[in-house]
Amino acid sequence: MCSATRCATRSTRGTPSDVAAILSVANLHVTYRRAGAHIESLREVSLDVEAGECVGIVGESGSGKSQLCLAIMGLLPADAHLGGSIRFADEQWLSAPRERLERVRGAKLAMVFQDPLSALTPHLKIGVQMGEVLVNHRGVSWTVARAAALAMLSRVGIADPARCLDQYPHQLSGGMRQRVMIGMGLLCEPQLLIADEPTTSLDVSVQAQVLDLLAKMRRDFRMAILLVSHDLAVVAGLAERIIVMYAGRVVENARARDLFDRPRHPYTQALMRCAPELGGPLLARLPTLPGQPPSAGERLEGCEFAPRCAYATEHCRRHRPALEPLEDGRLVACHAARPA
Ligand SMILES: Nc1ncnc2c1ncn2[C@@H]1O[C@H](COP(=O)(O)OP(=O)(O)OP(=O)(O)O)[C@@H](O)[C@H]1O
Ligand SMILES: [Mg+2]
């Protein structure tokens, strides 16, 4: 089934009516209490990821992308209060016992972090870190685990995998570390790989290599990917569907082609204007989006984007728009984007 049809079959909460999603997030809220203040990092977030699908998540810094990834992984801080539902592989994730989460995490569900140096354990050799994943999740011997780690390093493009197994993270380049992280995530052949800004700390040519590697691994392992970036260009080449987040909410959820052809939320339009144009003049200054998003502790009555939106009316400032389907099946939270 094509993504447009899929979107059309979703309810207004973004939950599928007749499609089996491998991941289904519905009305997810995450709040913290800090010094008497109520901080909401995620507000009414709903989305689905189908088996084998690549979904991109974009949004400015602070829009809640990492909070969403960590919530799905069950890795939010202990004082985070979660509401709503996260279903992964037909299991209710929020109420699952901790041991169950630990078993599934790293096996069916894996995550690649923005900064592989801090995600890898500094005092353990790569071979030990990779081996542990297989020994713990698959119950194999260390000899088998080492052989599998070696094969995986070669698969993710490490030129001298045997040497790499005996190195510490700080002895590798940024690109190699990210390849190791991806390889480590894939050891148990997960159904879903969450990649949170996997290329941000890399230079442009290594960034392209890592994205190519993710695309290849996705084909080889037939896994779904949730690819997070603040940069639309990064998700453009890989994602079939793109979810745009603003101030902890989903504001647009569309097939990638539709989103690039015709962004419908004013925030998505602004993000596109701020992205560099392929083949555009090298020295051209990129426009920036004026103003700041509301802080996670601020609660506005109406649309959170209204203070920065050129089309906002009094109605927008007073009434928050729901995430609703448009005529082409995409979901948009904007009064101005509604079909007549
Ligand atoms: N432990 C925490 N306690 C309270 N608030 C938090 C905590 N972690 C994150 N937040 C808040 O949640 C909001 C979203 O943070 P998040 O890290 O998800 O943003 P992001 O979209 O990933 O940004 P970036 O692009 O910079 O990585 C932020 O406003 C932040 O202040
Ligand atoms: Mg982040």
* pLDDT digits 0-9 by tens, 103-135: 888 789 999 987 877 889 999 999 999 999 999
| Amino acid present at 309 | C
The answer, yes or no, to whether any atom of ligand 1 lies below 6 A from the CB of 64, is yes
* 285 compared with 227, residue with greater pLDDT: 227
Q: What is the pLDDT of residues 166-218, one digit of tens each?
A: 999 999 998 899 899 999 999 988 999 999 998 887 788 888 888 998 999 89
Is 67 close to ligand 1, i.e. is its CB under 6 Å away? yes
CA angle 27, 247, 11 (to 5 degrees): 30
What residue type is assigned to position 158 of the chain? Answer: I
Closest CA to 315 of 286, 335, 329, 293: 335
DSSP 15-30: -BSS--EEEEEEEEEE
Q: CATH 3.40.50.300 region(s) of the chain?
A: 3-108+188-332
Give the residue carrying structure tokens 């144009």: 277
Strand arrangement of the beta sheet that strand 324-325 belongs to: 109-112, 192-196, 224-229, 54-58, 241-246, 249-255, 331-332, 324-325
Task: Please state, in angstroms and as integers, the Cα–Cα distance from residue 48 to each residue in 7, 45, 174, following that order.
Answer: 10, 10, 32
- Residue 332 reports pLDDT greater than 90: yes
CB of residue 62 inside a 6 A radius of ligand 1: yes
One-letter amino acid at 43 equals R
Average pLDDT, the chain: 87
Least Cα distance to 222 among 181, 190, 180 occurs for 190
CA dist 6 to 11, 264, 330, Å? 10, 18, 9
- How large is the greatest C-alpha to C-alpha distance in the chain, in angstroms? 67
Q: Which residue has the higher pLDDT, 42 or 299?
A: 42
Model pLDDT for residues 286-296, shown as the tens digit of each residue: 567 778 888 77
- CATH no., domain 3-108+188-332: 3.40.50.300
| 337 contacts 265 by C-beta, under 8 angstroms | yes
Give distance in angstroms: CA of 111 to centre of ligand 2.
13
Q: Which residues have a Cβ under 8 Å from the Cβ of 231 and sit 6 or more positions away?
A: 58, 275
Among 104, 100, 112, 88, smallest CA distance to 184 is for 112
pLDDT digits (tens, 9 = 90+) for 219-251: 988 899 999 998 888 899 899 999 999 999 999
Amino acid residing at 250: V
Lowest mean pLDDT segment, chosen from 131-140, 157-166, 294-303: 294-303
Nearest CA to ligand 1 atom 11: 41
For ligand 1, atom 7: residue with the closest CA = 41
Nearest-atom number in ligand 1 for the CA of 197 is 27
pLDDT value at residue 278: 52
